[in-house]
Structure 1
């Protein structure tokens, strides 16, 4: 490797390590990660524009550096590292920078293999989305930010617009597997979405950007880089901000958000680096909390099972009949879907302090303490008739009688979900001639308050006592009538810790074998006067623990070609709904308590093999996987079981094949494509069928051109057929969603060294396909549909400062 290329590799590694390791540590990491460089071409490098699984001793996820063997792989919008030990797709900063500016982190990974996205009906970035990976739903995989897991505390799901807009993201890596033992998360189960924060650069600079789009969309953004500050020991600071507002694609569904982000990197002597990062986000939007799409209806006639649902036959009085696929909320204050009755307001923050230390003799330490918070205040319209109070004395002779308000009154509720999470992650690393040892642990504590309180919109939010209460003769412990306007009022916690150890053994330079083990211990508690579903008082806890083994291998027979294999176990801890029943009777509570004591975490056993090849013009990676899920958690359907009680049933089998390819026919132009086949079958005594919301296949194709200041990109994502609901086990299967695809085109031109203009077109071919169905009580009569949003445009101007 020439001196010039060596220096470029160091700069790339140091800027890519979004947790900002010290320069000499970057040298060690880069040298280790590119140990095959001696035999490689000058194009082999570590690139700052992509992130992937490499062997950075300072990383908890081993995903901060990607090693490429050619310029084709380096500039590809999606690629995999030569040192990966599981299937992965790293999305480049260049792609993120040129994507739709409003895109959330799920939309940024939409073009990667085996990933499908739902929830885009209001336009890209204007509503929360959900990602499915190989059929695993949100909550079945981890999402991390700078190797720190974050998730909701009811269950480990995620709010894609609540924390991290694209201005705070340097790169995203989708690991389609549990990772090594050092991969931490609340759902070490189906995979990982690893985001990395914006890098603090060595050079001083910045930029401001303004974007305008249809639906009265405006986005303003800025980035400021201090560069190295000599008077502060070469400390570096990056600050970014974003403001977004739009009316949205759906009727009466505006959105508004703002974000501030800052990261300070401070070298302490020659062996320590302190990183302090914090981001704050506030957004509000108008969206129904009751409805899950637009109603259709087929004239009151139920459809035959297995009939394909379509928006063509919707009745004139339905949402779709009146507004088409663009229905979101109404404008009539006498209806519960009046837009001003349906507002969600979220405030979040996420911060950490990280100290990385070189201890000498091959030893290093990585310590980080973090916290994040989430507050969701939701006001919603609701159905039903208000109850203003009660008459009667509550005796057998004079029982309580509900006093109902006017039928025309519009009901509503206030819903709160507020949590604060504190955690610490520590890791000790030892590197010697034959490999590396990583030992570490993670502790996390979460506190959550939740409530849902009913009121009457028409009377100015007076209490509406519509919940069930304990009559005078009841044996259940339901709340008193004074609490009949409270659906639930609860406090919950989790306390968890994970301990891990792994040994990356390198018998020869081109072979790494990494066995590992992780111990997971997770305790949930819940208490409150009114529990969800049952509305009984509750004060209980559940604890689950398991030891998980891991083993991976990576072999590079030549410098630009590698093979890998993975064996790993994962687990999914039962979520908060495990503590709910729909009834408050003593019998049902006893059954739920017994079920909870027997409930085991869902577990997965992963087997994966693959290969990565980076040629001078072509880069290819392919893989195959088989995953067995045991202890599937589902509703107890046995005779006499209380509604909503959960038990372990059956298992799920996941298997498939995935591949992606990049081709550079001429310098500056990269063509790319990927595809996957995804089998995800629930298997029990009565059912063997594809699980709900799991597409049978995915594919993507497009190109990226970047030369002489001109950038042009196009991508088209195909999502194969899927089912919206689980199969009942007999007869034709209903709720099939047809395959669909959507594309995005972007173009920009640098007018000078300081000025750039551009445009983005989303859903280029204006597909209005159904992407999700919320099933009603009668098939085809009261189902609700969600659609792809119509074609949208955005123009932007960017000025460097």
Structure 2
């Protein structure tokens, strides 16, 4: 059988007497069975293999006149192998050449992105967000250029923080909000494939936010052959990448060891002015097989990131100058503030508030795990993976105003930029700490994932646990950048907190018939937080009466969710399947949910909101023909939107509540058409509508009333209005050529119209459709010589140099409508007092980065094959 309980035909068996003599062989039939007879008594070694599967070996004792039944479970080599095995078993050339594809065993909308796609059809400096951006219903933006900053990925309208990302099954995310840092963890050099599931998944899908979906990052497969590779890449924005990789191949006693090492250095000026990036990184993987039943794996990665990213974005006026619909005069005149067009080069000039010394990040990270997988007999397998990782972000940035250390210059005009000097930051006491911010965010996590499985003819039983403990230290201090970043006495906020996450689960994948699989399951998500918050300047909790920086209060809370799931997969034919899924998901609340403005007594008031949850229905089909693959799905998601708050009159403390629930529904389709001689056409498209429902939200005027069942005030929600940042449609067209030594591809991604919210005013503006086109050309030496796998890569990102706007932060915030009920006045958080001009020249906007070209040469040095 395979490791999922499926019967494996045409597997090869070799049986050899340990005392010597010729080996006997057999091939499994359609039911995965084999028989060998006439063996003499003794000890035998049974070895089974099949294309794309890892070889398995077992020792069997044969007695005279006895019969032994041997069950063997072969595991897929890696994601690429799984796709290859399925393509080969169906005789589908289109599936074998598909850049991305769904699997016939899918129970949800799932796209498999192989290492071949990452290595051939993404930039050498891409991050994991850019590796998934061509998948159905998905888009990724990065304003500084591909791989050169923090990218943002959306799918089905869900932003980062509404879905899980894990690496080899280990969730990773920020502790203050469940979001991710694409530039500080897992660059493409670390990746061997991606399993992209656009659903909450089954009960065994673990993580803090099994809500919108999961991006499962996978490490590289171990090579059985020794190989050394070294490469250099150079491209636009003075981007340089040096990379070296070593595969040990199988070595040691009985060839039971394997090691892979990769180290690289990345440096770039970036597309945006003064947004330099430097990254030094390395990872090491090892594998040890002490027996045919036990495998030990390990992974360790370290990244050292430095960047000069400013803490503000350019405005429309600074980007484009005057345009129809807005003017660029006065405060909105071009170059009248921060902007990407500043070109400051004199490092001795104290006015260089945009220079490296006034805006920088220093972010070291590390990530480690050790995994043990052991077969226990009778179909049972146990695996456990303890892990730890750390994120340590030290950031200092100036506010976007010119500064000087000479009080006489305040109010004068700085000629090179035609801007006024606002303050001295170091000599005027009132503004001493207004020019900079000293920011710190650090956490260390320890956790484990474990799973017990039992494979039988009836199906697969799975039970397991994810547990994680994290310790976080965060602060933001107003600081003086001209006095060696001297901090103010009181911070904007300073806090430490400890979180615990528990997720036990159980599910059973029942093989009801050879063609029908049913998988019910349930997961329990329990989360706790304990905070220690120090006195501040009013940014979060206030001075606690004494304004003593050492004073603090403690707070905390917990959440518990039961998350059932169920799915079915029916194999209509060997090459055609259908599936259906009902699944629930939840989101770990942000730590800010536990912030309360404190009175002089420092007594916290904790009225916690309900946890965000969702309910997803999906159905779809996957078909693999020789020249065409096709998968299609329909989804309907009812989910709770994010948190908001208001303040009851009796306490002055904010009460958090869930915003109006929402519904997203739509369709997605994906296909690869094999044309001829390695040439294929890849297509995907999604169409959806994400909108608020018309349910009412209940408010209250006292903290006690908030917890009672008696409504105090009922406000209609913006039913029917579209959810912000959820495109109406997304399409991808790709043309690939994969033949012998050549891998070439062109991919075009179009993102449809998106609505934008502004404060309480929904659908205040829109982002027009934008298009991104990338082209890749690769040539690999496959001669079997010492230089086997030497590769030349040429990458074009945004080849047509489009500069469309991809995001907008409104300069003018909408004012919520005031309403009165029960003698009290409230802000209606869903309706604006009056319409505003949604798009202005002062809006801070994000755009597609300009065209980038990257040439890469990787030299391979391996034993002659």
Q: What TM-score bracket applies, with the shorter chain setting the length?
A: 0.7 to 0.9
Secondary structure (helix, strand or coil) at the match of 2:292 reads coil
1:776 to 793, 797, 811: 811
Matches within 5 A, 1:509-588: 509-530=514-535, 533-536=540-543, 537-581=552-596, 583-585=597-599
For the residue of structure 2 that corresponds to 1:155, the secondary structure is coil
User: Counterpart of 2:260?
Assistant: 238
SS class of match (1:12): coil
Q: Which residue of 2 aligns with 1:716?
A: 748
Please state how far the C-alpha of 1:133 moved relative to its aligned partner: 1.4
Pair 1:372-2:407 in alignment: no
2:469 to 420, 445, 449: 445
* Matching residue of 2:717: 686
Q: Classify the secondary structure of the residue corresponding to 1:227.
A: coil
**2:738 corresponding residue in structure 1:** 706
Give CA-to-partner distance per residue, 1:198-237, whole Å, 9 cap, x none.
1111122132111110211111112211111142642111
**If you compute each CA radius of gyration, which structure gives the higher value, 1 or 2?**
2
Aligned partner of 1:745 in structure 2 is 775
> Could you report, residue by residue, the CA deviation over 1:424-481 in whole angstroms, capped at 9, with x for unpaired residues?
1111111111111101111110000011122212233233x4xxxxxxxxxxxxxxxx
Q: CA deviation at 1:636?
A: 2.9
Q: Which of these residues, 638, 647, 650, is aligned with residue 628 of structure 1?
A: 638
> Which runs of 5 or more residues in structure 1 are unaligned?
15-20, 34-45, 56-64, 302-308, 389-401, 466-482
Distance in 2 (CA, whole Å) between partners of 1:644 and 1:494 is 22
Partner of 1:469: none
Q: Is the 8 A contact 2:241 2:265 kept in 1?
A: yes
Aligned residues of 1:67 and 1:83 also touching (Cα < 8 A): no
* TM-score, scaled relative to structure 2: 0.78
Q: Does 1:667 align with 2:674?
A: no
Report if aligned partners of 1:299, 1:314 keep a CA contact under 8 Å in 2: no
Q: Is the 8 A contact 2:52 2:85 kept in 1?
A: no
Tell me, in whole angstroms, the C-alpha distance in 1 between the residues paired with 2:58 and 2:669. Answer: 36
Q: Give the distance between the partners of 1:751 and 1:333, measured in 2 at CA.
A: 53
The separation in 1 between residues aligned to 2:670 and 2:339, in whole angstroms, is 34
Shift of 1:574: 1.5
Q: CA deviation at 1:292?
A: 3.7
Matched with 1:296 is: 317
In structure 2, the partner of 1:223 is 245
Q: Quote how far apart the aligned CAs of 1:508 are.
A: 1.2
Deviations 1:742-763 (A, max 9, x none): 0110112235642332311110
1:593-632: CA deviation from partner (whole Å, max 9, x where unpaired): 2422xx1111101100000001100000000000111375
Q: Distance in 2 between matches of 1:677 and 1:720?
A: 9
Q: d(CA) in 1 for partners of 2:126 and 2:163?
A: 20
CA contact (8 A) 2:614 2:639 kept: yes
1:116 Cα deviation from its structure 2 partner: 1.7
Shift of 1:727: 7.5
Work out which structure has the larger RCO, using CA pairs closer than 8 Å and 6 or more positions apart in sequence: 1
**Contact 1:608–1:626, Cα closer than 8 Å, also in 2:** yes
Contact persistence 2:644–2:659 (CA under 8 A): yes
Measure how far apart 1:11 and its partner are.
Answer: 5.2
Q: Say whether residues 1:108 and 2:143 are aligned partners.
A: no
Are the structure 2 counterparts of residues 796 and 328 from structure 1 closer, same or farther at C-alpha, using a change threshold of 3 Å? Answer: farther
What is the deviation of 1:258? 1.5
The corresponding residue for 2:399 is: 382
From 6, 9, 12, the counterpart of 2:52: 12
1:504 paired to 2:509: yes
In the alignment, which of 719, 729, 734 is matched to residue 764 of structure 2? Answer: 734
- Separation in 1, partners of 2:511, 2:633: 23
User: Given the alignment, which residue of 157, 167, 191 partners 2:213?
Assistant: 191
Q: CA RMSD in A?
A: 3.4
In structure 1, C-alpha distance between the alignment counterparts of 2:773 and 2:182, rounded to whole Å: 20
Distance 2:354 2:653 in 1: 29
The answer (yes or no) to whether the contact 2:52–2:84 under 8 Å persists in 1 is: no
Q: Equivalent residue of 2:52, what SS?
A: helix
Judging changes above 3 Å, is the alpha-carbon distance between structure 1 residues 316 and 275 closer, same or farther for their aligned structure 2 residues?
Answer: farther
Q: 1:495, 1:283 → 2: CA distance?
A: 28
Distance 2:84 2:590 in 1: 30
> Could you tell which deviates more after superposition, 644-653 or 255-264?
644-653
1:385-419 per-residue CA deviation (whole Å, 9 max, x = no partner) reads 99x9xxxxxxxxxxxxx994386997112111110
Identify the residue that residue 676 of structure 1 maps to in structure 2.
686
Structure 2 partner of 1:61: none
Residue 449 of structure 2: aligned partner: 425
CA contact (8 A) 1:237 1:265 kept: yes
Structure 1 residues 178 and 24: alpha-carbon distance in aligned structure 2, compared to 1, 3 A threshold? farther
Q: CA–CA distance in 2 between the matches of 1:763 and 1:643?
A: 48
Contact 1:686/1:729 (8 A) holds in 2: no
Q: Determine the C-alpha separation between the residues in 2 that align with 1:225 and 1:295.
A: 49
Q: Alignment partner for residue 595 of structure 1, among 593, 607, 615? A: 607
Q: How far off its partner does 1:162 sit?
A: 0.5
Alpha-carbon distance, 1:777 to partner: 2.6
Deviations 1:526-546 (A, max 9, x none): 103236522353301111111
Gap change, CA 1:279 and 1:595, over 3 Å in 2: same
Aligned to 1:62: none
Take 1:78 and 1:158, find their aligned partners in 2: how far apart are those partners?
23
Contact 2:577 2:623 in 1 (8 A): yes
Aligned partners of 1:327, 1:385: CA distance in 2, in Å?
15
Instruction: Measure the CA separation in 1 of the matches of 2:605 and 2:526.
Output: 20
Match of 2:698 in 1: none
Q: Does 1:764 align with 2:799?
A: yes
Query: Whole-Å Cα distance in 2 between the matches of residues 272 and 129 of structure 1?
Result: 39
Q: Which runs of 5+ in 2 are unaligned?
A: 1-8, 13-26, 29-46, 60-70, 406-425, 544-551, 696-715, 814-837
- 2:417 alignment partner in structure 1: none
* SS of aligned partner of 1:573: coil
1:49 pairs with 70, 77, 80, which one?
80
Provide the C-alpha distance between the structure 1 equivalents of 2:444 and 2:56, rounded to a whole number of angstroms. Answer: 31
Q: Deviations over 1:674-703 (max 9, x none)?
A: 010122212352312121222121111111
TM-score (norm 1): 0.84
Counterpart of 1:112 in 2: which secondary structure? Answer: coil
* SS class of match (2:757): coil
Alpha-carbon distance between aligned partners in 1 of 2:774 and 2:440, rounded to the nearest angstrom: 36
Is the contact made by 2:662 and 2:691 (CA closer than 8 Å) also made in structure 1? yes
Corresponding residue for 1:346?
363
Residue 653 of structure 1: aligned partner: 663
Q: How has the CA–CA distance of structure 1 residues 317 and 649 changed in structure 2, closer, same or farther, with 3 Å as cutoff?
A: closer
Note the C-alpha offset of 1:295. 5.4
> Which residues of 2 match residues 119-268 of structure 1 at below 5 A?
120-231=142-253, 233-268=255-290
Task: Name the structure 2 match of 1:611.
Answer: 621
Tell me which of 80, 103, 110 is aligned to 1:88: 110
Partner of 1:36 in structure 2?
A: none
Q: Compared with structure 1, are the counterparts of its residues 407 and 230 closer, same or farther at alpha carbon in structure 2 (3 Å cutoff)?
A: closer
Cα 1:555/1:763, change in 2 over 3 Å: same
Native 8 Å contact 2:49 2:56 kept in 1: no
Q: Distance in 2 between matches of 1:434 and 1:296?
A: 66
